[in-house]
Every structure is written in structure tokens, then in C-alpha cells.
Structure 1
Amino acid sequence: MLKFAFKNKKGNTNMPTANIITGLTALLFAGSLQAAETETALIYAGTWLSVVPPLLAIGVALLFRQVIPALFVGLMFGVWLIGDLAWQALWTSPLVTVQKYTVEALADTDHASVIIFSLLIGGLVGISSRNGGMVGVVNLIVNWANTVKRASLATIAMGLSIFFDDYANSLVVGNTMRPVTDKMKISREKLAYLVDSTAAPIASIAFITTWVGFEVGLIDEALRSINHQGDGAYIMFLQSIPYSFYPLFAIALTFYIALTGRDFGPMLTAEQKARSGEINTTEGIGLADDDIQPIENKPHRAVNALIPFGVLIVVVMGGLYVTGLNPELDNQSLKDIIGASDAFKAMLWASIAATIVAVLMSVSQRILSLDDTIEAWYEGMKPMLQAIVILILAWSLAAITDQLETSDYISSLLQDDLSYYWLPVLTFLLAALTAFATGSSWGTMGILIPLIIPITWNVMSAQGVLDVEYLHIIHITIASVLAGAVWGDHCSPISDTTILSSMASGCDHIEHVRTQIPYALYAGGFAILIGIIPTSLGLSPWIALAIGLAAMFAGLRWLGTKV
């Protein structure tokens, strides 16, 4: 029997009401926690209710346009289901969610590596911004931009060169190129479009960015849930890149428009007005917080960004090779070595090495003091905190859906009624809708990747196509979540990167969205019709890319008008 006694202000211990309430609370929490931690058969595992936690997360995200509360609500309902919908489990579900599932997500060594890597990359971006390195890279390109075509191409090239972070990309490119494009009478709407279309698309598919740790961490969690013994999460991510049709087509479209000088839709009107001297302007925003703006009266040397990020890339590749090499095996191919590597360890080594190099270069040249460098490092980490919270909650929700056998239930519904080759395009559309409504590509990935990969795996297994010949379906599905999230994010007026792009470019936000959506739909349509559906049916992604790129160019020649 439990006995609790609390003294009141007078020292009296006769407080039966407090004793009862406290005792009941302790019993309820202990019972709920014990139920959550006990590996017993769950009443609602593999039933229709097991689908509710992720659907609830998606629904709340769509309704309130807030991903973190949505994930937490989904988690709490999942904990309640694990507690067999007992009322005491509902009472303590927030406590169990944090005490058990989020702590377990953090305790995983691979998860911890992803978090540290993401923070260090954010810090590296902060240092490279503060020491003027990124502005130096930009200045190398700007000096060449003395015509409309060159200014447009310079904007695109600059966006692609800052591939490692979409936030840094939007802020640096928009602010730097705005005076140049104004001089060339390029509309602010066009600048915002070029900035936005070379930010998230390149960051989502480049092999070492602030996105990669997030994406690989989610893929790894999904692969664990299906006990996948083949290629690791990083290799699966790399293999999915050729199927990321929307990001690739979106980037290609910016080049086509810049090279041909053709536009269509509202963008055509904006460009015609700009050429006549009527540029729609709003006040832009600075590069970032004061703590990571370049130091005034200090040289902006491109090497201060190029060398640290070069170190990052070299150490990642070297780390993948070292961790994947097995001295006991003869004639290991490079693919086998990379496939057996520890990507989390390699990315961790690389981010540490690159950060050390950036600090040493900033301090040794006396561009920054050590205190300024550390402060810039901290400031660079701040934008990553929200993503890390989303990632932790997504890992936790994945653990709950795995325990509730959610993917098994959905797979049982789909395996007889839906052919496996329709899964990628449906995934793409679902990801696009979720990202459009929430404005968060990362939140969309956090919700869908841990759910969609096991569903696809189980449906393929049930339909007898789970072998090497059909493994590309998994790759397309992974790519469809990532690409669909970017597509929806591009079209959404509440997307953070869309807002940053319009503000950094000094463009009216609604005008940016209105002029960009037709281009996003254009690239997205080709991605679905020529990319996702044909490759799901067996067409080579390289052939699909070639046909899609040619068709997009021909379509622009027919649809667009030269300004």
C-alpha cells in the first residue's frame, strides 16, 4: 500500500485529499508507463486504429499548419493506443511520450550522430557567413553578370554553389543578386523564382547538406522497421537521387528560362513590366542575424568558405571508404565498400574536421576573434533546432507505428487492391499536398518516410516482387517523398523557404507565389508523367530524365514568349 503525506504551511500532515490525488497520479503514471514498456500483445496493433496516430499527425498539421504540435498529438494518441485506450493511459500519455519514446530516440547512437552532424553543419554555415567566405564565393560570380542572360545564369550558378543549406542559399543569393538584377531590369519576381528554385531542390539531392542527415536518419529508421539487410540508408538515399525528378526538372527549367529568355503566365507580365523600368519592389531582409553577417571592413575571401566545405566533402568520401573497407575481403568494389560504410560516422568526422578548419582560418587571418567565431557557430546552429525537434518526434512516432504494426495493416489493405507500381506517384501527391498545406518539407518527410517505406516494402512482398529486379520501386518511393515535399513546399505561400526567397529578393510575397506556381506545376507535371509513372513501370531513370528534359525544353519553346 502506498502512503503519501504532505505538510501544509502549518506543518500539518493530515491532508487526505492531497494523499489520495498524489497516490492516484503515481499509480496511474506507473501503470501507464509499465504498459508502454511491457512487450505484450497489444489489443489495437494491426487494426484500423493503428493508422490513426500518423493520420492524426497529418490532419493536425494540415489544420493548424504546425508540424511539431501535430507530431506530438499523434505520439500521444499512439501511446494511448498502446495503453489499450485506458483512461489512465490518456492522462499520462504526454509524460510517457517524453519519458520513454523521445528519450529512446535520443539514446540511439545513429540518431545522436545525425543530430550532432546537423548542428555542426549549421554552425559551419554560420562561421562561413560571418567570416565573409560565402559573400566571397558570390562575388566571384557577380563580376561576370553584365547582361540579362548572364545575370540570370549567375543567380542560378550562385544558388547551386551554395548547395549545402537552403536557408543560407536563399538569404545570400537573394540579397547579393538583387542590385545586379535590378540593374539588368530583371523583375524581382524572377529573382525570387530563381532563388527559390535553386535552394531546396539542390539541398534536397546534393550528397552532403544540412538536409542529408535529416533524410538519411528518417530512411535509416524506416529500414530498421523492416529489418532491411541490404544497402544502408545513405546508399539508398544516393540511389534515389536519379528518381528525384521534380528537383532535377525544377533546376533544369531555371536554366532553360535563363538561356532562352522565354517566360509564360504571370511571370511574363512581370518581366515585361521590369524591362520597361517598372520593377515591383518591397523592402528586403538582411543576410541573417547580426551575429552572422559578414564583418565590415574585412576582406571577403571565397577560400574561407570553399576550403572548409571542400574538407567536408573530402572527409565524407574518405570516411565512407575507410569505414566500408574490409581487409578480410578481396576485390571489394567501390560500390561494395560504400555500401558497407558507416555514413553516420563519416558525416560526423567530416563536420568536425570542416568546423575546425573554418575556425582556424577565421581566427588565423584575424577576420574574427575566437569569441566572434564561437558566437557565429552558435548562431548558425539555431536554425537547425526546429528541424532536430521534428526529427526526434518523427523517430518517436516511427517507433510507435512500428509497435502498433501500422504499416502491416495498411499493406494488408493495399496488397490485393493496388498494384505496387502506383505507390510512388501516390506518395508523391500525398507528400506534395501535405507540404503545400503545412509549408514544411521537413515536417512532411518526418511524417511520411517512416510510414511509406515499410508500406511499400510490405505491398511488394505480398505481390511477390520483393527482389533485386524491383528494388527500384523502393528508391522511387523514397525519392517521391523528398521530391513531393519540395514540390508542395515550392507552391505553398506559408513555406519558410518561399517566404525567405521573396523577402531576401525584395519581392512582394504573394506576387512571388503567384508567378512561381505555374513553373512549379509545369516541372511537377513532367516529373509525374514522364518521370515517376514510367520508371515505376520499369523505364530507366536516365532515359526518363533525357526524355523529360527534352520535352520540357520543347514545351517552353512552344508555351513561352521571349521577353
Structure 2
Amino acid sequence: MEGTIYSLIPPLVMLVLVLVTRRVLISLGVGILLGAFMLHDFSITATLSEVWTQFYTIFYVDGALNLGNLFLLSFLILLGITTAFMTASGGSRAFGEWAIQRVKTRKGAQSMPAVLGIIIFIDDYFNSLAIGQVARPLTDRYKVSRAKLAYLIDSTSAPITVISPISSWGAYIIGTIGTIIATNELTQFSGLEAFVKMIPMNLYVFAAILLVFLTIYRKFDIGAMKKHEQKAELEGELVDKTKDVPGDLNNEFKDVRNGRVYHLIVPIIVLIAATVIAMVVTGIQGTEGNVTILEIFKNTNVNRSLFAGGLFAALSGFILYVTQSGEKSSLSKVSLEGSKAMMPAIYILVFAWMIGAIIGELETGKFLAAQFESLNIQPSYLPLLVFLVSGGMAFATGTSWGTFGIMLPIAGNIAANTDVSMFLPALAAVLAGSVFGDHCSPISDTSILSSTGAGSNHIDHVMTQLPYALISAAATSVGYVVYGMTSSAMLSLIITLLIVVLVVFAINPKSNHSKANESKTA
């Protein structure tokens, strides 16, 4: 069944169950078992062996610890501990009180994570988790739903990272493009030059970012998002407490009443500084030959750097907490509650890795790619088709990077051998489609971590973000049609953005955000 249409069954069944049951772990578990059954011709013994193998290889593979995964999981726990110390020290409360004196509206509170998402472009994991810790005290005060915060984080993190050359994503993509250029013996541009020229052709990321700000300033809350925002504004219910919420401490301990803003700011600054320094150090260590900024970010060890940043952040939070006077909870209780708060995210991430590996063995991505290659494609509409196929692949597999690895060489090879003028637009469309599919997929690690950073139930985040991703994707599709007709990247981008604006104003012609609601706080 590998590499056939049947390989689509496990991800499709899993996605349907997620939509119907809203129980992500059960849905992922069914997808894992079904995929393993199909891999081993429905042999129960072999299936159970496959499931066990996929589980333990997350932690131990090829005779050694799987340090990349262990570092990331450890970082999540350290982040939970850091958050717990920031809360217990009164830092989160003090920051909320400080920020509310300076940020006067709900729009301003929502703008903060959106702007930070664009400024912090080094890595999507770091972006997703760090911004939530900074923004949550403020958005909570202004009764912004956690699902809305997760959307603001997720829809700025991957889009900005995928067009930034100085980022973990950018370095990887530039290296991949350089190989494709060399393979096809193209001499018109280098990998970096090609990446920079592709930026305005990556229509989806600009549509998604524009829609974020239109959603904030026009109060464009649609679908499930509207329900979450109404509950938050009218009832103060920021998140459904009956569901698993990663990163939420649920008032397990009282905070110190004399907490100060620096009890939150210092651990965040330490987290950012230590992570960036570690990325530079590991990048230099992993670079052979000429050490440049691009090579550093290409060879950096992101997960190890996140672990280092998380460790120093947790230590700084610990020190600030123990040096405070007044009644405090025990250190073990704060640390334990912080760790427990991250368990839902860890469970989902582990299950997502398992089903991702099984889908890889079923060769779902290769099947979709093969179907794409077999099409008789008119070169001018190659970007549109590449965008749609890449989006479907990233949605089914939950990985942007995996889609990059499969689709960039295929799209580049087709363009180079049919119409070389489509080379850069086709590669840009791969990046656009990959981010789109990633935004829609419940097994996307970036979406899981955005939920965690925001303290939102994961499925609530997926369901609220989906309509916005589809609007951006529809506008992008029209943009690529225009490109096929005109070969003008600028006109295509303008049309794409214009469609997003028109959709927002057509659905919500009047911003119904009253001044009373706008200024209302907790």
C-alpha cells in the first residue's frame, strides 16, 4: 500500500476524526494504528511492534539517544517551569498591570503578539513559544481569547520565518535551492540571490500576515473564532476549562503580591539572549570552512539552542523567585505544576511525530508528488499547481520542511526543463503552499507549539485558524492565476492582497467593535 492512493487513508481518517470528535489524542492514535496496520498487512503483532518502534525511536535511535527530540521536549518542560516561576513571583500579574496602563485597547493588546511575531524571525519554534509568554498576561487582561492569541502567533511565525534569509528556515531553504540550481546547471543566480528574488512571489505569507492585522483592526472574527471571542469579551471565558490546555497553570498556586515587572521580563530576556547565543555558537561549531552569518544559521542546532535558552531562563526565574520576600509556595510545587502544564503539548507532539513517521513510511508525500509529476502542466500555471499540491502535502503530513524536501527539487526540475522563467515562481509557490498546509494541519508541530505558547486548546486553535488560512489560500490561488496570465510578480501580489481586503470588507463591512468593549478590561 506504500506509495499508492491507499496511503492517504490514515491521514484522512485522522483528520475526519479530529473534526468530528475534537479529541486530538484519540484521533492521532487511530491514525497511528490504522497506518501501522496498513504497513504490515493488518498483522496485529507486526502492527504493535511498529507502534512501539515509532514510539521509542522518538527517544532512542541507531544505538544512541535522539538528542534533537529530547532537547525539544526538555525545552517545553523548562518553559513550563519558567512560566510557573514568572507567575508565582507575581511577574505576570505585575506585567499585566503595567502594560494595561500603556496599551489602552483590545486592538493594541492583540497587535503586540502580531508585531512581535514579525520582529522575532529567527525560528518558528522559538517565535511560537516565546511570544505567547510575553503577550499572554496582556491579552488575558483585555479578555482576548487564547484561541485568538494562538492564531496571531501561528499566522505570523512561519510566514515571516520562511521569507527571512537569516533564520533556521531561510538557511535550510537557501541551501536546498543552491543544490537544485547546481543540479539543473543554472547560472543566472546563486541560492541566496534566488531566495531574495522569490520573496515577493511567496504570495500566501503576505496574504496571511495582512489578514492578521485586518482581523485585529476590523474585528474580523468569523466561524469558531467569533464564538471564542464573544465568550471571552462577554463572559471572561478565555479558554474552555473542560478541555486540555497546554501551558495553563489553572491557578494552582498564589503569586507573590509584591512581584515586579522585571520578574517576567528578565527570564524572557534571558531566554531570548541565551537561545540566540547558543544558535550562533552551535552554528559556528557546525560550520566547516568560511564562517558567515548565513552558514551559521544554516548549521545551527535549533533544538539544542532552545534547550540552553530554556535552562538559563528557568534558572533566572528560580533565582528571582527564591530571593523574594513574603509568603511563597514550595519550589517543588511550582516546578511540578509548571512541568505538568506542558504535558498536553508533549503528548500531542509525540503522537504527531509518530503518525508523521508512519505517513512517511506509507510514502503519502511521494504518492502526491508522483501524481503531480504525471500531470501535463502548462508552464505558466506551474506555480498555481505547485501551491495546491504543496498545500495538500503539508496538510496531510503536518510538515513544512518535509514538503520543502520533496517538492522543491520536483518543482525546480519541471521548471528548468520546461520554462526556466517559472523556476523562481514555482519554488516560491512550494514555500507558500507548505506554510498554508502547515497552518491547516492538526499534526503540524508549529501549530502545536503555537497552541502551547498561547495556552489554547490545540483543536480550538486549528479550527479557529482554518477559515483565515483558507481565505489567504484562495486569494493566493487567484494571485498565481494572474501570474500565469501576466508573469508580473508585483501585480499578482497586489491582486492577492486586494482580494484579502475585499473579502474582509465584504464579510464585515462595519467594524462592530464598540468603544465600550474596546476599552473594557478584566
Please report the TM-score for the alignment, with normalisation by the length of structure 2.
0.65
Matched with 1:25 is none
Q: In structure 2, do the counterparts of structure 1 residues 339 and 170 end up closer, same or farther at CA, with 3 Å as the change threshold?
A: closer
What residue number does 1:472 align with? Answer: 428
- Matching residue within 152, 156, 159 for 1:198: 152
**Aligned 8 A contact 2:2 2:362 in 1:** yes
1:79 to 20, 36, 56: 36
Q: Which of 405, 409, 419 is the aligned partner of 2:367?
A: 409
Q: Which residue of 1 aligns with 2:350?
A: 392
Q: CA deviation at 1:334?
A: 0.8
Shift of the alpha carbon at 1:94? 5.2
- Residue 204 of structure 2 contacts residue 472 of structure 2 at CA under 8 Å; is this kept in 1? no
Indicate the residue corresponding to 2:320 in structure 1.
361
> Secondary structure, in 3 states, of the residue corresponding to 2:354?
helix
> 1:139-150 counterparts in 2 under 5 A?
139-145=97-103, 150=105
**Which letter does structure 1 place at the counterpart of 2:102?**
W
Residues 78 and 339, structure 2, Cα contact 8 Å, conserved in 1: yes
| Deviations, residues 264-293 of structure 1 (Å, cap 9, x unaligned) | 999xx99xxx9xxxx973253699545556
Helix, strand or coil for the counterpart of 1:46? coil
For the residues of structure 2 that align with 1:302 and 1:346, how far apart are their CA atoms? 26
Match of 1:281 in 2: 234
- Which residue of the other structure, out of 94, 97, 108, is the alignment partner of 1:153? 108
Match of 2:310 in 1: 351
Partner of 1:483: 439
1:298 and 1:532 mapped to 2: Cα distance? Answer: 59
Find out whether 1:249 has 2:210 as its counterpart.
Answer: yes
Q: Counterparts in 2 of 1:126-275, with a 5 A limit?
A: 126-145=84-103, 150=105, 152-157=107-112, 164-165=128-129, 172-178=137-143, 195=149, 198-202=152-156, 244-245=205-206, 247-254=208-215, 256-257=217-218
SS where residue 244 of structure 1 aligns? helix
Q: Note if contact 2:33-2:51 (Cα within 8 Å) is conserved in structure 1.
A: no
Partner of 1:185: none
Corresponding position: 1:51 with 2:5: no
**1:539–1:360 distance in 2 versus 1, CA, 3 Å:** farther
Kept in 2: contact 1:453–1:477 (CA 8 A): no
Distance 2:353 2:112 in 1: 35
Confirm or deny: 8 A CA contact 2:140 2:238 kept in the other structure: yes
Q: Which residue of 2 aligns with 1:463?
A: 414
Looking at structure 1, the residues matched to 493 and 333 of structure 2 have their Cα atoms a distance apart, in angstroms, of 44
- How far is 1:93 from its partner? 4.8
Residues 428 and 483, structure 1, Cα contact 8 Å, conserved in 2: no
Stretches of structure 2 that go unaligned for 5 or more consecutive residues are 61-65, 118-126, 162-167, 184-190, 240-246, 445-450, 513-522
Alpha carbons 2:88, 2:321 under 8 Å: kept:
no
- Displacement, 1:528? 5.2
**SS of 2:218's equivalent?**
helix
CA distance in 2, matches of 1:538, 1:388: 45
In 2, the alpha carbon distance for the partners of 1:340 and 1:399 equals: 24
CA pair 204-382 structure 1, distance change in 2 beyond 3 A:
farther
Higher relative contact order structure (alpha carbons within 8 Å, sequence separation ≥ 6): 2
Look up the SS of the partner of 2:8 in the other structure: helix
Change in CA separation of 1:135 and 1:297 when aligned onto 2, cut-off 3 Å: closer
C-alpha displacement of 1:363: 1.3
1:30-75 Cα distance to aligned partner (Å, 9 max, x none) = xxxxxxxxxxxxxx43333333333333333334333322332232
On the 8 A contact 2:256/2:326 being kept in 1, the answer is no
Q: Secondary structure at the match of 2:374?
A: coil
Which letter maps to 2:355? L
Distance in 2 (CA, whole Å) between partners of 1:264 and 1:202 is 17
Q: C-alpha distance in 2, partners of 1:345/1:526?
A: 38
Q: Is the 8 A contact 2:89 2:263 kept in 1?
A: yes
Distance 1:424 1:265, change over 3 A: closer
Change (3 A) 1:158 1:292: farther
- Percent identity over paired residues: 15
For residue 143 of structure 1, report the CA deviation from its aligned partner. Answer: 1.0
Amino acid in the other structure paired with 1:66: R
Aligned residues of 2:215 and 2:221 also touching (Cα < 8 A): no
1:365 to partner: Cα distance: 2.5
Q: Tell me what 2:261 maps to.
A: 302
Cα pair 1:309 1:354 within 8 Å, conserved: yes
2:432 corresponds to which letter in structure 1? I
Counterparts of 1:298-337 in structure 2 under 5 Å? 298-299=258-259, 301-325=260-284, 329-330=289-290, 332-337=291-296
3-state SS of the aligned residue for 2:59?
A: helix
Moved more, 552-561 or 410-419: 552-561
Equivalent-residue separation in structure 1 for 2:441 and 2:358 (angstroms): 23
What is the distance in 1 between the residues matched to 2:452 and 2:4?
37
Call closer, same or farther: CA 1:368–1:479 in 2, change over 3 Å: farther
1:359 Cα offset (Å): 1.0
User: For the structure 1 residues 360 and 426, does the alpha-carbon distance in structure 2 shift closer, same or farther, using more than 3 Å as the test?
Assistant: same
Partner of 2:120: none
Structure 1 residue 497: deviation in Å? 10
Alpha-carbon contact 2:107-2:217 (below 8 Å) kept: no
Query: Would the aligned equivalents of 2:208 and 2:468 in 1 still touch at CA under 8 Å?
Result: no
Instruction: Look at both structures and tell me which one has the larger radius of gyration over its CA atoms.
Output: 1
Change (3 A) 1:543 1:402: same
Alignment of 1:501-516 (within 5 A): none
Taking a change above 3 Å as real, the CA distance of residues 65 and 119 of structure 1, as seen in their structure-2 partners, is: same
CA separation of 1:339 and 1:155: change in aligned 2, threshold 3 A: closer
Are 1:101 and 2:54 counterparts?
yes
Partners of 2:439 and 2:485 in 1: CA distance? 15
Q: CA deviation at 1:450?
A: 7.5
The answer to whether the 8 Å contact 1:46/1:408 transfers is yes
* Root mean square deviation, CA, Å: 5.3
CA distance in 1, matches of 2:328, 2:275: 28
The AA in structure 2 aligned to 1:133 is G
State the TM-score, normalized to the length of structure 1. 0.61
Within the alignment, does 1:68 sit opposite 2:21 as a pair? no
Q: Contact conserved, 2:404 with 2:434, CA < 8 A, in 1?
A: yes
Supply the distance in 2 between the matched residues of 1:56 and 1:478 (Cα, whole angstroms). Answer: 21
Return the letter of the residue paired with 2:17. V
- Whichever residue aligns with residue 423 of structure 1, its letter is V
Shift of the 447–338 alpha-carbon distance from structure 1 to 2, 3 Å rule, reads closer
**Residues 69-111 of structure 1 deviation map (CA, whole Å, 9 limit, x = unaligned):** 233223223333332x1x5x1x225531442111112222212
Distance 1:285 1:56, change over 3 A: closer
* Greater Cα shift, 246-255 or 286-295: 286-295
CA distance in 2, matches of 1:324, 1:412: 35
Distance 1:445 1:160, change over 3 A: farther
Change (3 A) 1:127 1:538: farther
CA contact (8 A) 2:88 2:256 kept: no
* Aligned CA distance change for structure 1 residues 345 and 171 (closer, same or farther; 3 Å): closer
- List alignment gaps of at least 5 residues for structure 1: 1-43, 179-189, 208-214, 432-443, 489-494, 502-508
User: Does the Cα contact within 8 Å between 2:248 and 2:341 map onto a contact in 1?
Assistant: no
CA distance in 1, matches of 2:494, 2:374: 34
Alpha-carbon separation, structure 2, partners of 1:139 and 1:545: 41
For 1:351 and 1:450, how far apart are their aligned partners in 2?
24
Native 8 Å contact 1:129 1:135 kept in 2: yes
